Chain A
Amino acid sequence: MEGETVIRNVTDIAIRVAACRTRRAVRHFSRSGFLSCVLAACLGVAGLPLAAWAQPAPDLGSEEQREAGRSLYMDKCAQCHGDAGQGDGVAAPFMRPMPRDFTAGVYKVRTTPSGQLPTDDDLARVIRDGMPYTGMPPWPQLSDDEIRNLVYYLKTFNADFSGPYGVPDLAEIPDPPSFSEASAERGRAVYEENQCFDCHGMAGRGDGSSAPTLQEQWGNHIRPADLTKRWTFIGGATRQDIYRTFTTGLDGSPMPSYSITPIEDSWALVDYVYSLSQDDPDYATAATARYAADPVDPAQGRAAFGEGRGAYFPVVGQVIESGRSFMPGVDGVEVKARYNADEIAIMLAWHDMSAETTGENAPDMAVPPTEQVVRDTVASVWSDAVAVQFPQEMAPEGLPYFLFGDAGQPVDLWFADLASGAGRSYVGRGSGNLIAGETDPSVHATYEDGEWTAVFAMPRDERFAEGAFVPIAFSVWDGFNDERGNRRGITGWYYLYIEPSERPSPVMPMLRAGGLTLLALLSIVGLMRFRRRTSVSA
């Protein structure tokens, strides 16, 4: 890799923003000063229109457009971003990342160099497409005109938009060359040279060593992106989006802008990040438990469950009962399972920014009802934990309540506190009524490169009969996020399919169906020919 120069910006956000501001001022001086001086000198008379040409006026919209934008803003946006655009609406305390403070004039998703304002199209794009898996939803139901009016109104919150920096430069974002495996392979080296792993982790799961202490400009903790989940990228998931995100940075967040040369290396990094995940999460509705005659060894971890990605279920916040979790630390759990005559084993794997292996956790810990806000400090007293839940009995009238069962229909809960690593079982008749179960599951859990893998093994009872669809639900606690008891990530009921050990061969049914069809056709044709012959001979 000789002869390549790699420039890495300082990660300290304060220094960086200051530097960018200065750079912006310098560039602007040279452009407006030098250019207009030279050109005005050359052309002499045409001073006034020329100055206007050398420094185009920002498009601030008409009074009516801004007013239309204002009323739309008060209707749809002020709830989170605040009546005065300061990012302090009623819903703001429950959100991480926090809603944008428009008065700061600092924006994450831009096609302009770091430190500059975004273009109108940049603002419009974020309004239209939203930022997935954050509090900012997409607004495809707004017309282009409505979005433009909103943009004009947003620009009134910060004076820079109407000042000399109101027309930002455009960063150069070329069309992407085609993806290649070789380039993605080389991108791994670029990823390491630029120390992306500091925040994003060695495997890109957002678990870098500095991840727990990262802060955005306003002092709140912010999690680095999990690069293995492209569908969660706030700046978009195409290769061009990824290029734009790291070349222009996410201003206001610790994600700096990078200038990686030669440009092939930039695209190699893009290809590497792109190669880390599939297009969409591909959420499942059922996981499959496969038969394997040999005994389950939980210590083998993932290797005991064969190749391939398991069923992936979305995890969302428990916002139904007291102890509500508005921004859970975990957004998905992968599930694989296997069984033999005596045992059933279930593997759960999920990405977690940091492993909390001290302290304790339990599904029935009390959470004070007043504790409603997402915390920003790193002083975890709760360990990470996970649980699997099954109905205790299959009742014809339906399932137990998915939040740890109900008085009429209890659930079995297999729980693992990942600090001790010990498995416990509970019988749940609602989240306020959990008692210890009879048999504790054996649990083996490991944390590696930002991923927890927990294997539960239990004696196989009659619920897990071959061919059965067993209702199953999950809970995940992220100790870093103060999750314990009812404050946790949950799923609704899904299914665990116990795939029969002997899969029936399709040959006999195929032969039978095909043979019967042929027989029917032949008898119809035969009958017609027979009748025809007899009628002709008669």
Chain B
Amino acid sequence: MNILILLAACAGLLALRFVPKMNILGWLVGWWAATFVFLRWGINPPLPTSIQGMFLAILTLSLLAYISANSAHFRFALDRAVAFATEKKYTVALLVTLILLPCLVALRVYFDVTEGPAPPLSSRTIHPPPPVSIEVAGRTIDLVNDDNPYRALETEDPAAFAEHVANGRRVYYENCVYCHGDDMAGDGLFAHGYDPIPANFQDATTIAMLQEGYIFWRIAKGGPGLPSESTPWLSAMPAWENFLTEEEMWDVTLFLYDFTGHRPRAREDHGGGGDGH
């Protein structure tokens, strides 16, 4: 969000208030222009042009609805349009419009035809629902009810807990850092070569809103363990059960939370588990 642009758009609308003899058509144009400016330059990172177009189309329709909802407004707008199309003093402007509009449309078509088609886009589901349980090294792990077996040490035996975190740190920097980055922001050395990009654990929408069992599932089964709506064939996440022990995977989960300062999402069912304190 670019606050300066937002303020400028609001100030522009406010300024319209002080224009003498402002009519309803002027207001419509003002609103349309202010929204366009905000959508085009006011949002960071920028919206895709197709989304901008959708918003502007909705706005145009609602402005038309607004004008036709009030018969005085509608009458006035219609009169102005008829005057523009028929009165002599507008002849030049009318001719210019009649020539310019078709030319603009033709130009748009020219760009569409010569630009060439874009590669197909594939959509994917992030954070798909996890399975109820998984098999790791011959052991069944209940993702719904089992918690990180070492999480309880945090309060019961802080020294042992610190050792598990330290082991997780070693595992992370030997294995994960190349993609997920030194600061866990998903910007490691190889991040630019993979699509989807590696998860950013600092971000509030990844590990902070997931339970540890979910993280364990993603680590153990990796990209190949994703359901098909999450494009398992594109993900570069290895299935770490092939490289790491179960303890190492739980330890690195502890380290992800420890390093970023996030807490695992609390369990809804018995409301305590790992919630923040």
A contact set with B: CB distance below 8 Å? 75-76, 79-80, 89-91, 94, 133-135, 137, 139, 141, 283, 285-286, 314-317, 319-322, 326, 397-402, 406, 409, 467, 469, 490-493, 495, 497, 499, 504, 506, 509-511, 513-515, 517-518, 521-522, 524-525, 528-529, 532
Mark B79-102 against chain A: 1 for CB-CB distance below 8 A, else 0.
001100110000000100110011
B190 touching A316 by the CB < 8 A rule? yes
Q: Given A141-B183, A518-B102, A525 and B177 touching (CB < 8 A)?
A: no
For the complex, what is the distance from the CA of A469 to the CA of B120, rounded to whole Å? 8
B119 touching A497 by the CB < 8 A rule? yes
A91 touching B103 by the CB < 8 A rule? no
Q: Which 8 A-B pairs have the closest CB atoms?
A: A316-B193, A514-B106, A316-B190, A514-B102, A506-B113, A79-B173, A528-B85, A510-B106
B193 touching A521 by the CB < 8 A rule? no
User: Interface range on chain B: under 10, 10 to 19, 20 to 34, or 35 or more?
Assistant: 35 or more
- CB<8 Å pairs between A and B, sample of 18: A137-B181, A137-B189, A141-B185, A314-B193, A316-B189, A321-B238, A399-B231, A492-B236, A495-B120, A497-B119, A509-B109, A513-B106, A521-B101, A525-B85, A528-B85, A528-B86, A529-B85, A532-B82
16 extra interface residue pairs, beta carbon distance < 8 Å, beyond A326-B178, A514-B102: A79-B173, A80-B182, A90-B174, A91-B173, A94-B178, A317-B190, A319-B236, A319-B238, A321-B238, A399-B233, A406-B233, A469-B119, A492-B234, A510-B107, A510-B110, A521-B101
- Considering only residues 92-140 of chain B, those with a C-beta below 8 Å from chain A are 94, 97-98, 101-103, 105-110, 113-114, 116-117, 119-120, 122
Most A-side CB within 10 Å, residue of B103, B117, B193, B228: B193
In the complex, B241 has a CB within 8 A of chain A: no
In the complex, B157 has a CB within 8 A of chain A: no
In the complex, B164 has a CB within 8 A of chain A: no
- Considering only residues 130-170 of chain B, those with a C-beta below 8 Å from chain A are 169-170
Q: Within 8 Å CB of A522, what residues of B?
A: 98
In the complex, B224 has a CB within 8 A of chain A: yes
Q: Which of B85, B179, B224 contacts A319 (CB 8 A)?
A: B179
A398 touching B170 by the CB < 8 A rule? no
Give the residue name and chain of the A residue nearest to B101 (CB). Answer: A517
Q: Which of B108, B173, B231 contacts A398 (CB 8 A)?
A: B231
Q: Given A90-B170, A509-B109, A315 and B193 touching (CB < 8 A)?
A: yes
In the complex, B269 has a CB within 8 A of chain A: no
Give the residue name and chain of the B residue nearest to A281 (CB). Answer: B192
CB distance from A103 to the nearest CB of B (A): 20
Q: Within 8 Å CB of B101, what residues of A?
A: 517-518, 521
Give the residue name and chain of the B residue nearest to A137 (CB). Answer: B182
B contact set with A: CB distance below 8 Å? 81-82, 85-86, 94, 97-98, 101-103, 105-110, 113-114, 116-117, 119-120, 122, 169-170, 172-174, 177-179, 181-183, 185, 187-190, 192-195, 222-224, 228, 231-234, 236-238, 242-243, 259
CB distance from A281 to the nearest CB of B (A): 9
For the complex, what is the distance from the CA of A132 to the CA of B110, rounded to whole Å? 40
Q: Within 8 Å CB of B232, what residues of A?
A: 401
CB distance from B90 to the nearest CB of A (A): 11
Q: Which of B109, B119, B173, B243 contacts A513 (CB 8 A)?
A: B109
Q: Given A90-B173, A513-B109, A76 and B236 touching (CB < 8 A)?
A: no
B119 touching A285 by the CB < 8 A rule? yes
Q: Which of A492, A506, A517 contacts B114 (CB 8 A)?
A: A506
CB distance from B172 to the nearest CB of A (A): 8
Q: Given A79-B182, A525-B98, A322 and B242 touching (CB < 8 A)?
A: yes
Q: Given A314-B192, A492-B236, A518-B98, A91 and B110 touching (CB < 8 A)?
A: no
Q: Given A90-B170, A492-B193, A76 and B86 touching (CB < 8 A)?
A: no
Q: Given A513-B105, A513-B106, A286 and B113 touching (CB < 8 A)?
A: no
B233 touching A521 by the CB < 8 A rule? no
CB distance from A373 to the nearest CB of B (A): 11
For the complex, what is the distance from the CA of A409 to the CA of B117, rounded to whole Å? 26
Q: Given A91-B173, A514-B106, A525-B85, A135 and B189 touching (CB < 8 A)?
A: yes
B119 touching A402 by the CB < 8 A rule? no
A509 touching B113 by the CB < 8 A rule? yes
For the complex, what is the distance from the CA of A7 to the CA of B210, rounded to whole Å? 62
Q: Within 8 Å CB of B114, what residues of A?
A: 506
For the complex, what is the distance from the CA of A517 to the CA of B98, rounded to whole Å? 9
Q: Given A79-B169, A506-B113, A492 and B181 touching (CB < 8 A)?
A: no
CB distance from B196 to the nearest CB of A (A): 9
CB distance from A323 to the nearest CB of B (A): 11
For the complex, what is the distance from the CA of A491 to the CA of B190, rounded to whole Å? 10
Q: Within 8 Å CB of A521, what residues of B?
A: 97-98, 101-102
B113 touching A491 by the CB < 8 A rule? no
B113 touching A76 by the CB < 8 A rule? no
A492 touching B194 by the CB < 8 A rule? yes
B119 touching A79 by the CB < 8 A rule? no
Give the residue name and chain of the B residue nearest to A317 (CB). Answer: B190
CB distance from B114 to the nearest CB of A (A): 6
CB distance from A212 to the nearest CB of B (A): 23
Q: Within 8 Å CB of A75, what residues of B?
A: 259
Give the residue name and chain of the A residue nearest to B188 (CB). Answer: A137
Q: Within 8 Å CB of A518, what residues of B?
A: 98, 101-102
Q: Within 8 Å CB of A398, what residues of B?
A: 122, 228, 231, 233
B113 touching A319 by the CB < 8 A rule? no
Q: Within 8 Å CB of B174, what residues of A?
A: 90-91, 94
Q: Which of A89, A283, A509, A529 contacts B173 (CB 8 A)?
A: A89
A139 touching B183 by the CB < 8 A rule? yes
B103 touching A397 by the CB < 8 A rule? no
For the complex, what is the distance from the CA of A510 to the CA of B103, rounded to whole Å? 9
B181 touching A320 by the CB < 8 A rule? no
A320 touching B238 by the CB < 8 A rule? yes
A532 touching B86 by the CB < 8 A rule? yes
A402 touching B173 by the CB < 8 A rule? no
For the complex, what is the distance from the CA of A133 to the CA of B109, rounded to whole Å? 42
Q: Within 8 Å CB of A532, what residues of B?
A: 82, 86
